[in-house]
């Protein structure tokens, strides 16, 4: 098996818009997908839908913020499906609030999933990948890690830290044949975006930008589909990217102006 046509892929946040799109895209490419999410109902919906399409996917309920749950899930995945050759860290949560007014609870909630979750999953999987001398890890971050956004201090900080962690991980694991990269989406048509931009007016504002909050619009004049992010993940997971590691691929239609 090669990274381009199969193996076992673990996708966290698989019940979400981007995670679900990544899981489906990998399954269509021949991967055996271990879909991980904290919400059992979303996992069931995803696995039943993909199974109905004839794709191979198995659901594993785990909260990535809890290291013991991650360790148990990874052990089960490897026992039941085989060695994990690809990890996609796509789990994420958003809590909005001014930087000086965020509660301890909101700050901790965002970092526990968006940063601690990346650490817990990457640590558990990488320890096993080292024994096989191959593998790939892709962390889904955000262009908010590159450009400050009002009311997104916790989210941007967590994603920036996750980017740095993933690149350092890539440096440390390169000698073991393991590549670690990042995909940083901008505005993408998911439930998270709908939390930020409700209705057509909200979508139009995301494209046009907001001078009063110093937010640039989207030069390509469209909001991404989850499949756009999944395509970037697929590339970084494939043998076509066999000489690519420690990179951050921004998929935001130019909203970060190349930052």
Burial of 107 (0-12, 13-18, 19+ CB in 10 A): middle
Catalytic residue at 155? yes
Cα–Cα distance list, 183 to 138, 140, 174 (Å): 7, 5, 18
Rounded Cα–Cα distance for residues 207 and 82 (Å): 43
* Token pair listed for 150: 């009002």
All residues at 6 or more sequence positions from 228 whose CB lies less than 8 Å from its CB, including other chains: 185, 188, 251
H or E element: which one contains 58?
strand 57-61
Q: Which CATH architecture has domain 7-186+227-250?
A: 3-Layer(aba) Sandwich (3.40)
Q: Tell me, what DSSP letter sits at residue 97?
A: B
Rounded Cα–Cα distance for residues 163 and 169 (Å): 10
* Token pair listed for 145: 């890690």
**How many alpha carbons lie under 13 Å from residue 209 in its C-beta half-sphere?**
15
- 3-class DSSP state of 92: coil
Rounded Cα–Cα distance for residues 185 and 228 (Å): 9
Q: Which of 60, 155, 165, 214 is catalytic?
A: 155
H or E element: which one contains 174?
none
The domain locations on the chain are: 7-186+227-250, 188-223
Q: What is the pLDDT along the chain (259 residues), one digit of tens a residue?
A: 334 456 999 999 999 999 999 999 999 999 999 999 999 999 999 999 999 999 999 999 999 999 999 999 999 999 999 999 999 999 999 999 999 999 999 999 999 999 999 999 999 999 999 998 999 999 999 999 999 999 999 999 999 999 999 999 999 999 999 999 999 999 999 988 777 766 677 778 889 999 999 999 999 999 999 999 999 999 999 999 999 999 999 999 999 999 8
Beta bridge partners of 185: 251
Number of Cβ within 10 Å of residue 105's Cβ equals 9
Rounded Cα–Cα distance for residues 208 and 185 (Å): 17
């Amino acid at each position: 098996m090669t990274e381009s046509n199969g193996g076992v892929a673990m996708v966290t946040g698989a019940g979400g818009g981007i995670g679900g799109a990544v899981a489906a895209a990998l399954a269509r490419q021949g991967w055996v997908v271990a879909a991980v999410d904290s919400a059992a109902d979303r996992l069931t919906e995803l696995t039943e839908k993909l199974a109905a399409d004839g794709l191979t996917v198995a659901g594993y309920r785990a909260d990535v913020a809890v290291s013991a749950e991650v360790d148990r899930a990874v052990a089960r995945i490897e026992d039941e499906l085989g060695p994990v050759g690809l990890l996609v860290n796509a789990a994420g949560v958003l809590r909005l609030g001014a930087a000086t007014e965020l509660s301890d609870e909101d700050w901790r909630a965002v970092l526990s999933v968006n940063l601690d979750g990346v650490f817990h999953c990457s640590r558990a999987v990488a320890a096993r990948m080292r024994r096989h001398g191959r593998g790939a890890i892709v962390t889904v971050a955000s262009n908010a890690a590159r450009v400050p956004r009002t009311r997104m201090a916790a989210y941007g900080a967590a994603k920036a830290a996750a980017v740095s962690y993933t690149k350092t991980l890539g440096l440390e694991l390169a000698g073991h044949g393991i590549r670690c990269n990042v995909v940083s989406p901008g505005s993408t048509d998911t439930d998270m975006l709908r939390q930020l931009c409700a209705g057509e007016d909200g979508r139009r504002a995301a494209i046009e930008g907001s001078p009063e909050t110093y937010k640039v619009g989207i030069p390509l004049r469209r909001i991404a589909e989850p499949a756009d992010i999944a395509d970037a993940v697929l590339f970084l997971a494939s043998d076509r990217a066999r000489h690519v590691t420690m990179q951050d691929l921004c998929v935001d239609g130019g909203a970060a102006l190349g930052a």
